[in-house]
Structure 1
Amino acid sequence: MNHNHLEISNSFYTMWSPVLILFVIVVGILYFRMVGPWREGFKHSEPVETWRKVMFTVGLVLFYLTQGSPINYYGHHYLFSLHMLQQSILYLIVPILIILGLPEWFLKPVFQIKWLYKIVRFFTFPLVSLLFFNVTFSIYHLPLVMDYLMENELALFGYHAMLLFAAFMMWFPIFVAHPDFNKMPSMQKMLYIFANGILLTPACALIIFAGDLLYAMYRDVSFTTTVYSVLDDQQLGGVIMKIVQEIVYGIVLYSIFRKWYRTERKQHPDELSDEPQEGMVYNHA
């Protein structure tokens, strides 16, 4: 009886990561205290819009689902396609939502810490952030690298932490409310996103068009054979990553374009007409 209870407890701990649940809850409580009753402690603070709170909350929930739910377990041990879905959400969606949830008045005192400001300033320089994220992401999906990381938990944790930091730095120049890190004009932002899409494509293509199994840890799993082969699952993973990337980058490009269009129409009202219908994504890009 005790042995069975131990197995159930270990299974729950593995599948749902109570430690991560606690971490996410603590971060959420601190956030809502900061933007709520503790807001008066910040200079020039203003009430935080509801949409920012929603963005931050959804970002936290998605972070937990990708890292602390069965998605993480089955993606790590059985389904490469699920692993790629996890990666897509974690690096292409979660950082955007978290960054959008942070108001300018909250960020300004944080970046008054000089060493932190210098680090973020360096890694958000467009060329650096482009290469840092895309090169790090591509290296991760090289078979030798990924096989090693999947067998070494501490190394995997460290690499994922670096990738997540790189993803935040990559999205910072587009969405952050702090004026020092969001100086690119709209046209440059569109080129920046377009370049990101190009740099991410080789990693996806390597997986999609591979005729053989690339990763040792997925070769002997039998989880997928009743529906489709392990090779099909590997190719599906590349397709999922590419589709999510195209959707996210497409929405971001569209929102930036609409911001540019609005600005140009205000400056040259006689040259542009029929303004597109405004939406939340545009207003806060």
Structure 2
Amino acid sequence: MGVDHVSWWCSAEGKVWNWEWSPYLGAWLLTIMLVGLLIAGFRRDRDFPLRRKVAAFAGVALLLVATDWPMAAMGAGYLLSVQMARQVLVVLIVLPLLLYGCPPVVGRWLQAGARRRAFVRVVSTPLFCIIGANVILLTINTPMVSDRMIGSPLGSFALDLFWIVAGFLLWFPVQPPAPLTPRLVGPLAMVYLIVQSIAPLPTAWWMTWGDYPLFSTFELAPRVFEGFGPLDDQHLGAAVMQVVGGLVIWSQIAVRFLHWMYQRQALENAGIPAFEADVDPGTDDDAPVADATPSTSVS
């Protein structure tokens, strides 16, 4: 398999689809930069848990999958279902992995000054994050905005950045970088994630029940698979957003619930009142709170 052409970012080009590799230079440069930053950060905290390091590099690898050929090319210009898969991958999988595995130097930097601590307080406020993340996703998933953005590499790059920002806001209250601890822990974190799983349903609903294709880019794009029309693609895209995205969030909820119940039972067996078991089920127990309170401990 040869190289068809090299672009700096994905966009809708209107060409007949082929399976010749067409790498996106911007995606590879971003990957190299992130890997370099992670390596430099981990060198400053050599005792940082291996599982978190693995999570960070896995997040970078999946980000490359979402922003390079063939997934990015197919999603930006041919199939709405693949575009929704890219959104689920970046917002619901890549961002929590990156936040979980982020080097502690980043968390310490966020605690270093009053303005940074104020920023942390804002971006860990649940209501702000629910509104902010879902306004971004709702806006960029409207046909008027999406069709225009994916028509050029710069617009498509901006759309991908909006996905990253939305994912950051969605996960920060429950999974901030070490040594910060989530603003929401235990049952409150689970309730927050349940709300976040419900918020995208209106968008998926009108995509599911639309009688005609809503996105002109995907309606007019050359077909990738014979017999798989734009309306079928739109319905599948809604299912990816609603079902697959929901399963990702609910798997997080399930793991947090089981971890919380295990901790609760262990504390009760030790004679500690049950209400003291409401510690964060998603991060290490010895990390400080993600608010204005400085701390130097590293999970």
Q: Under TM normalisation by the shorter chain, which class is it?
A: 0.7 to 0.9
2:30 is matched with which residue: 8, 14, 23?
23
For residues 77-102 of structure 1, give each alpha carbon's deviation from its aligned partner in whole angstroms, at most 9, with x where no partner exists. 11111111111101110001101112
State the shift of 1:140 in Å. Answer: 1.5
Q: Which amino acid aligns with 2:39?
A: F
Equivalent pair of 2:175/2:283 in contact (CA under 8 Å):
no
Q: Which amino acid aligns with 1:71?
A: M
After TM superposition, the score normalised by the length of structure 1 is: 0.82
In the alignment, the residues of structure 1 paired with residue 159 and residue 283 of structure 2 have an alpha-carbon distance, to the nearest angstrom, of 34
Is residue 204 of structure 1 aligned with residue 201 of structure 2? no
Residues 1:26 and 1:145: Cα distance change in structure 2 (over 3 Å): closer
SS in 1 for 2:144: helix
Residues 1:159 and 1:123: Cα distance change in structure 2 (over 3 Å): farther
Equivalent pair of 1:124/1:170 in contact (CA under 8 Å):
no
**Correspondence for 2:278:** none
Return 114-123 or 201-210, whichever deviates more: 114-123
**Correspondence for 1:81:** 81
Equivalent pair of 1:16/1:68 in contact (CA under 8 Å):
yes
Is residue 140 of structure 1 aligned with residue 147 of structure 2? no
State the shift of 1:65 in Å. Answer: 1.1
State the shift of 1:12 in Å. Answer: 9.7
Which runs of no fewer than 5 residues in structure 1 stay unpaired?
Answer: 40-44, 272-280
**As a proportion of its length, which structure holds more helix?**
1
In the alignment, the residues of structure 2 paired with residue 9 and residue 215 of structure 1 have an alpha-carbon distance, to the nearest angstrom, of 26
Equivalent pair of 1:224/1:230 in contact (CA under 8 Å):
no
Equivalent residue runs for 1:273-284 within 5 Å = none
Q: Which amino acid aligns with 2:170?
A: M
Residues 1:268 and 1:200: Cα distance change in structure 2 (over 3 Å): same
Is residue 32 of structure 1 aligned with residue 65 of structure 2? no
In the alignment, the residues of structure 1 paired with residue 284 and residue 246 of structure 2 have an alpha-carbon distance, to the nearest angstrom, of 20
In the alignment, the residues of structure 1 paired with residue 95 and residue 201 of structure 2 have an alpha-carbon distance, to the nearest angstrom, of 20
Equivalent residue runs for 1:151-190 within 5 Å = 151-178=151-178, 182-190=182-190
For residues 104-153 of structure 1, give each alpha carbon's deviation from its aligned partner in whole angstroms, at most 9, with x where no partner exists. 45411343144343234212210000111112111222222222223354
For residues 215-271 of structure 1, give each alpha carbon's deviation from its aligned partner in whole angstroms, at most 9, with x where no partner exists. 111122231461322110111011112222122111110121123212321332299
Q: Which amino acid aligns with 2:63?
A: F
Report percent identity of matched pairs: 21
Return 89-98 or 175-184, whichever deviates more: 175-184
RMSD: 2.7
**Correspondence for 2:274:** none
Larger RCO: 1 or 2 (CA < 8 Å, sep 6+): 2
**Correspondence for 1:130:** 130
Q: Which amino acid aligns with 1:203?
A: T
**Correspondence for 1:58:** 58
SS in 1 for 2:200: helix
Equivalent pair of 1:258/1:282 in contact (CA under 8 Å):
no
SS in 2 for 1:212: coil
In the alignment, the residues of structure 2 paired with residue 283 and residue 123 of structure 1 have an alpha-carbon distance, to the nearest angstrom, of 18
Return 179-188 or 69-78, whichever deviates more: 179-188
Equivalent pair of 1:172/1:181 in contact (CA under 8 Å):
no
Equivalent pair of 1:186/1:259 in contact (CA under 8 Å):
no
**Correspondence for 2:290:** none
Number of corresponding residues? 264
**Correspondence for 1:276:** none
In the alignment, the residues of structure 2 paired with residue 112 and residue 237 of structure 1 have an alpha-carbon distance, to the nearest angstrom, of 43
Return 179-188 or 161-170, whichever deviates more: 179-188
Equivalent pair of 1:80/1:237 in contact (CA under 8 Å):
yes
In the alignment, the residues of structure 2 paired with residue 161 and residue 143 of structure 1 have an alpha-carbon distance, to the nearest angstrom, of 18
State the shift of 1:167 in Å. Answer: 1.2
Equivalent pair of 1:213/1:234 in contact (CA under 8 Å):
yes
Return 138-147 or 92-101, whichever deviates more: 138-147
**Correspondence for 1:72:** 72
In the alignment, the residues of structure 2 paired with residue 284 and residue 134 of structure 1 have an alpha-carbon distance, to the nearest angstrom, of 28
